Amino acid sequence: MLPPVPEEYLNVSGLPPVIAQLLYNRNIKPEGIDSFLSVDRRLEGNPFLLPDISQAVNRIYGAVLGREKIAVYGDFDVDGVTSIVILVEGLSRLGAQVIPYIPDRINEGHGLKIPALEKLHAQGVNLIITVDCGVTDIKEVKGAQDMGMDTIITDHHIPLKSLPRAVAVVDPKRKDSVYPFLDLAGAGVAFKLLQALFHRDSREKWLTGLLDLVVLATVTDLVTLVGENRYLVKEGLKELNDSSRVGIQEMVKLAGLKPGELGAEDISWVLGPRLNAAGRMNNASTSYRLLTTQSSEEARLLAQELEMKNAERQRLTSEVLSRAKEKLTAKLDLPLLVESDESYSVGVIGLVAGKLVDEFHKPAIIINLGPESCQGSCRSIAEFDIVSALTECHDLLVAYGGHPLAAGFTVPRQNLAHLEQKLLRLAAQRLGDLELRSELVIDAELPLATFSGETFNLMQNLSPFGRGNPQPTFLTRQVDVLECRNFGKQGEWLRLKLKQGNVTWQAVDFESQKKPQEVPSPVDVVYNLEKSRWSGEEVLRLNLLDFAPSQLG
């Protein structure tokens, strides 16, 4: 349970106690309350504060005026693909000759690769602009330079101690960056580059139409939804709900979502996984074509293809997870879970690592074993910075990069055993004295009657919710269970009718896997609030995260 809001903060905010408590819990200073709740342009950063942005703008305008061929080189996930679309469409509008390049996850992997650069050089490319990658690719940028191609890096990953010797390295996470917000997605950085390119141009307002892509990337890539990202997501959701992209329209329709009512959770659970599925199963060009096509018929076929790829991705993830858990049975007492196999599909190893972290609350690494080199995908917890750990093992690796909670690497097979030992040793040093367990962070303990009237609507002013600004979570004690029954395909979930005082609430439980007869009354419940349809009407319900028998007295 988080500490109660101080009286001074409550008085300064002038807000109802529950709203003030939520803002205090999210470390919003009194002077930042207005801009946090208003989610207006005050949250936007000046693109010209990004490192090397002027060099990037000058070189791009030189390429446009000189009719040079530009390649936009990205990544194969949602952030990478949307970033490529953003820059290709933006540069094309400036009159540039521009082509996209999406690497293949399985055959090429993340980041710049010399064979890909050689292909682009053969096509007459003079300038390569990276999106969502490149900041650690020192050798490859030198290779491009040796071929006579300039490189502009736009990225949001953590740089190494040395930067690539590119024309410009535009990354808010550079140590010398003065940009006020560090946690933009790759698509956010690409969008800021366009803002700088279109600065004071009569076409600047056209950029708003790209925010549907920025929001898809920002939510799916799990960057924090605070600061500037709040503004980009709020404005992006407006564009997404009125998107002119026929591919997005078809994907929304096929997924059974309602146009005009899309929220961040629909991106997280429905749209993001579908767009990611193409790059996970083979090549992300399907997602690129879906986002750029102007043909309704092609959009329908591509949306159907992504639907099938997503189903295949779910099946494969389930298979690999089951196999990995079986092999990890004897290692669950270790501070770091590492599992490798030749059969593990590169496209789903990150998802499997994430599911292991969720279940065991330990860092997890899943590795695809190749004949000579192996690809690993890492997911971690707040207590263990995985990129920092990989940096300490850099002499064993061919390449690595990412974020403190999610990273990837390539390692020669002959170094793998040594790498595992070193990472396990680092995890033991940093996590050995800690009690690792998943915890629910509770915002406040309140009676259910608190949520009558306008309270829920006021809480929605804190949205969009996501990493860094989670859904508000509450505890209520002494709640009577009037009804309880199973639902779902295997009857694995619970639907409940709860009562406290003279207020009755509908509730669902997707977490406990309990049978109705195992649910006591009264209970103490931990929950989020959400809107749902009940008997044809829109009502508030509790989404139960945990419950326990109430202690009398």
Q: What is the pLDDT of residues 404-439, one digit of tens each?
A: 999 999 999 999 999 999 999 999 999 987 777 777
Lowest mean pLDDT among 25-34, 105-114, 406-415: 105-114
Nearest to 305, CA basis, from 330, 281, 338, 324: 281
pLDDT of residue 535: 62
pLDDT of residue 110: 87
Nearest to 336, CA basis, from 413, 423, 255: 423
pLDDT of residue 69: 98
* 3-class secondary structure, 293: coil
Tally of CB atoms within 10 A around 500: 17
- Residue identified by tokens 């061929």 is 69
Mean pLDDT score across all residues of the chain: 93
Please give the biggest Cα pair distance in the chain: 80
Judge whether residue 103 has pLDDT over 70.
yes
* 3-class secondary structure, 483: strand
Judge whether residue 250 has pLDDT over 70.
yes
User: What beta strand segments (E) does 44-83 contain?
Assistant: 69-73
Single-letter residue type at 116: A
Under CATH, which architecture does the 440-549 domain have?
A: Beta Barrel (2.40)
Name the band, by pLDDT with cuts 50, 70 and 90, for residue 492: confident
**Per-residue pLDDT reduced to its tens digit, 213-239:** 999 999 999 899 999 999 999 999 999
* All structural domains of the chain with their residue ranges: 47-207, 332-431, 440-549
Lowest mean pLDDT among 247-251, 295-299, 490-494, 496-500: 490-494
Q: Which residue has the higher pLDDT, 58 or 455?
A: 58
Rounded CA gap, 421 and 425, in Å? Answer: 6
47-207: in CATH 3.90.76.10: no
What DSSP element (H or E) covers 525? strand 523-534
HSE of 380, CA atoms in CB hemisphere, 13 A: 21
Single-letter residue type at 383: E
Judge whether residue 537 has pLDDT over 80.
no
Judge whether residue 309 has pLDDT over 90.
yes
Mean pLDDT of the 294-315 span:
95
pLDDT of residue 531: 81
Long-range contacts, 274-278 (Cβ 8 Å, 24+): 274/306, 274/307, 274/309, 274/310, 275/78, 275/81, 275/82, 275/216, 275/220, 275/251, 275/306, 276/77, 276/78, 276/220, 276/313, 277/306, 277/309, 277/310, 277/312, 277/313, 278/305, 278/306, 278/309
Nearest to 113, CA basis, from 124, 122, 101, 123: 101
**Per-residue pLDDT reduced to its tens digit, 337-360:** 999 999 999 999 999 999 999 999
Judge whether residue 268 has pLDDT over 80.
yes
Nearest-Å Rg of the Cα atoms of the chain is 25
pLDDT of residue 77: 93
332-431: in CATH 3.10.310.30: yes
Sheet strands side by side (includes 150-154): 97-101, 69-73, 125-131, 150-154, 168-170
Judge whether residue 47 has pLDDT over 90.
yes
Rounded CA gap, 219 and 213, in Å? Answer: 10
